[in-house]
């Protein structure tokens, strides 16, 4: 490998940060590897936060991705509970919130995304978000004390938490301003099928409803969510799940633009995972994908590129969600489509997202795991054909910083 020594600092202890560090070691890097994270915990499984951990089926220790001895064995230095406040690209220095300076030869920004906050509304005690392990533990405690949960936003995090809370015996109301759950990602047709499923499991689903505020009791704890039609949803705890925002402020941006190998506009500074908007030849543009498989693949590619092997992650995107007895598996990437073909019913169905020429852009299987491999192959073939149709080499927009 070209870079046999030196120091690589990885900012962020999520899956992307961990996978970068361990890939460096697996590929024979002998220099220092420093993993810096704001949270006090070792890297952990984020998908468990809305499911097994929230339900109390697994402990915080059981969702850790690696045991403490792994980091000692691999000589990966951990700096936990500390925030990188800024970086000096010319001096190659990362400044921590405790005043320390860490020098690097290569820097990887894997800071992920943070929960999008409600703005302009006062949130009393008991109004929570779910993005971190600490968030999940706090929500679990609230659910254990209460009987009624109100979820603001019918996205994946909110719906998965609602599914877990229902299984725990709570009464759950979901408030969503769109006309169907998960409409932006999966479309109205699939969202309508899911809405039927949620209601069949006892969810009070309020669609087309906006939130104007929260009411609190004399103890200052939330007691209701106020809606824009003047009604209220009584609750003992409220979860706000209105999406996530990329945490790219170290470079003065939200999402960080990179080339296909994770390079940013700054020399020897890379980005991967939920914070990165990465060039994909298969799509002919940059996209930011917030999924487990993407974070792992990008991180491995960045580590190899740092070591001198030009590596690219451009696999067919894939993510899954477990909710109300459904295993949803989604392959492909489609921000828009011409039509959706659906087969099956609320207990098991598939959806094909097609362009104007009938070409498959993405697909969803609900309790149909046997179909995913074939769909992935079809999408991979479509991606290869799309790249080959381009007459000239890819013209990638220049990387730049504000």
Map out the domains of the chain with their CATH numbers: 7-114+245-306 (3.50.50.60), 117-242 (3.50.50.60), 325-389 (3.30.390.30)
pLDDT in tens, 320-337: 999 999 999 999 999 899
pTM of the prediction? 0.93
Helices 292-306 and 15-26, interaxial angle, to 10°? 40
Cβ-contact 17, 33 below 8 angstroms = no
pLDDT in tens, 127-183: 999 999 999 999 999 999 999 999 999 999 999 999 999 999 999 999 999 999 999
Whole-angstrom Cα distance, residue 209 to residue 257? 35
**CB neighbour list of residue 239: distance below 8 Å, 6 or more residues apart:** 128, 129, 130, 139, 149, 150, 151, 152, 158, 161
pLDDT in tens, 211-262: 999 999 999 999 999 999 999 999 999 999 999 999 999 999 999 999 999 9
Q: What is the pLDDT of residue 346?
A: 81
pLDDT in tens, 20-56: 999 999 999 999 999 999 999 999 999 999 999 999 9
**4 — phi, psi (to 5°)?**
-90, -20
Tell me the CA distances in angstroms from 76 to 72, 98, 287, 367, one per residue in order.
6, 20, 30, 40
The size of the chain, in residues, is: 402
**363 — phi, psi (to 5°)?**
-150, 155
């Amino acid at each position: 490998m070209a870079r046999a020594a030196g120091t690589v600092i990885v900012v962020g202890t999520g899956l992307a940060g961990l996978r970068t560090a361990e890939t460096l070691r697996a590929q024979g890097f002998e220099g220092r590897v420093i993993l810096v994270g704001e949270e006090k915990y070792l890297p952990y499984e984020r998908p468990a936060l809305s499911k097994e951990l929230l339900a109390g089926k697994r402990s915080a220790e059981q969702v850790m991705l690696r045991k403490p001895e792994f980091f000692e064995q691999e000589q990966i230095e951990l700096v936990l509970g500390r925030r990188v406040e800024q970086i000096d690209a010319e001096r190659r220095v990362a400044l921590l919130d405790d005043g320390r300076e860490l020098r690097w030869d290569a820097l990887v920004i894997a800071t992920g995304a943070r929960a999008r906050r409600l703005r302009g509304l006062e949130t009393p005690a008991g109004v929570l978000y779910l993005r971190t392990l600490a968030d999940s533990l706090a929500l679990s405690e609230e659910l254990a004390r209460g009987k009624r949960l109100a979820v603001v936003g019918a996205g994946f995090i909110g719906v998965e938490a609602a599914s877990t809370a229902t299984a725990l015996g709570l009464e759950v109301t979901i408030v969503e301003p769109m006309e169907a759950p998960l409409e932006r990602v999966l479309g109205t047709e699939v969202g309508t099928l899911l809405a039927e499923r949620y209601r069949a499991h006892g969810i009070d689903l309020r669609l087309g409803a906006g939130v104007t505020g929260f009411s609190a009791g004399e103890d200052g704890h939330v007691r209701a969510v106020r809606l824009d039609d003047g009604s209220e949803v009584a609750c003992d705890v409220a979860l706000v799940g209105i999406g996530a925002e990329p945490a790219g402020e170290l470079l003065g941006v939200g999402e960080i633009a990179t080339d296909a190998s994770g390079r940013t506009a700054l020399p020897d500074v890379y980005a991967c995972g939920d914070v990165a908007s990465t060039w994909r030849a298969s799509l002919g543009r940059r996209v930011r994908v917030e999924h487990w498989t993407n974070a792992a693949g990008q991180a491995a590619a960045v580590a190899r590129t740092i070591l001198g092997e030009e590596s690219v992650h451009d696999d067919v995107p894939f993510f899954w969600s477990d909710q109300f007895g459904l295993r949803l598996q989604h392959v492909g990437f489609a921000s828009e489509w011409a039509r959706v073909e659906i087969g099956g019913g609320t207990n098991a169905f598939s959806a094909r997202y097609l362009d104007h020429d009938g070409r498959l852009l993405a697909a969803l299987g609900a309790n149909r795991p046997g179909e995913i491999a074939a769909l992935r192959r079809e999408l991979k073939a479509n991606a290869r054909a799309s790249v080959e149709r381009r007459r000239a080499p890819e013209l990638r927009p220049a990387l730049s910083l504000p």
